[in-house]
């Protein structure tokens, strides 16, 4: 592989990271930018590696769509104070229900607790008995209660409202 595809890959990665980490972008806009950049970069790299124009276009489309879906699936951002308070209040309710035996203990170490809306969650660590961070995740689709959702390398059970 010559130096051009490597440079394109590096520029694509840097552009994707810098543009999609902007707090003011909607999840759809972030997904579109990330998917577009990843798709174009992959297509160019595929073409430089010897794929035909059609094959590199198919590769670019597949990578772009996959990237967009992953980026759109959840958006991580800093939670507002109001969201942090709402999530903390829900954690207290969940802990009371578990203690009273009206709800079973979580299946995983981490639980995804709805912040203000059911499609925005924060992660709570049941072993350390505290929120994982001040990050909120905007979900594309609200999971069912008890469903285990993957957030990066962490699996968390959605506890619902």
∠ CA 12-32-6, nearest 5°, is 15
- Does 131 or 38 have the greater pLDDT score? 131
- Does 63 or 26 have the greater pLDDT score? 63
Q: Is 108 helix (H, G, I), strand (E, B) or coil?
A: coil
CA distance linking residue 59 with residue 160, whole number of Å: 38
Query: What pLDDT, in 10s, does the model give residues 91-105?
Result: 888 888 887 776 777
Query: What pLDDT, in 10s, does the model give residues 31-83?
Result: 777 788 888 888 888 888 888 989 988 988 888 888 777 766 666 778 888 98
- Does 24 or 41 have the greater pLDDT score? 41
CA distance linking residue 88 with residue 93, whole number of Å: 9
CA distance linking residue 114 with residue 109, whole number of Å: 16
- DSSP letters spanning 5-62: HHHHHHHHHHHHHHHHT-TTS-HHHHHHHHHHHHHHHHHHHHHHTT--HHHHHHHHHH
CA distance linking residue 83 with residue 32, whole number of Å: 26
The whole-model pTM stands at 0.57
Q: What pLDDT, on the 0 to 100 scale, is given for residue 54?
A: 92
């Amino acid at each position: 592989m010559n130096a051009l595809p490597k440079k394109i890959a590096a520029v694509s990665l840097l552009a994707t990271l810098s543009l999609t980490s902007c707090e003011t972008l909607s999840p759809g806009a972030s997904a579109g930018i990330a998917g577009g950049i990843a798709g174009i970069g992959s297509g160019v790299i595929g073409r430089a590696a010897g794929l035909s124009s059609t094959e590199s276009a198919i590769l670019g489309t597949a990578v772009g769509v996959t990237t967009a879906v992953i980026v759109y699936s959840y958006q991580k951002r800093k939670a507002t104070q109001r969201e942090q308070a709402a999530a903390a209040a829900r954690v207290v309710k969940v802990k009371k229900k578990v203690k009273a035996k009206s709800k079973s203990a979580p299946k995983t170490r981490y639980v995804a607790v709805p912040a203000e809306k059911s499609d925005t969650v924060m992660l709570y660590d049941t072993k350390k008995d505290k929120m994982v961070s001040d990050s909120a995740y905007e979900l594309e689709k609200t999971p069912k209660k008890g469903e285990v959702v993957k957030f990066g390398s962490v699996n968390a059970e959605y506890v619902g409202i």
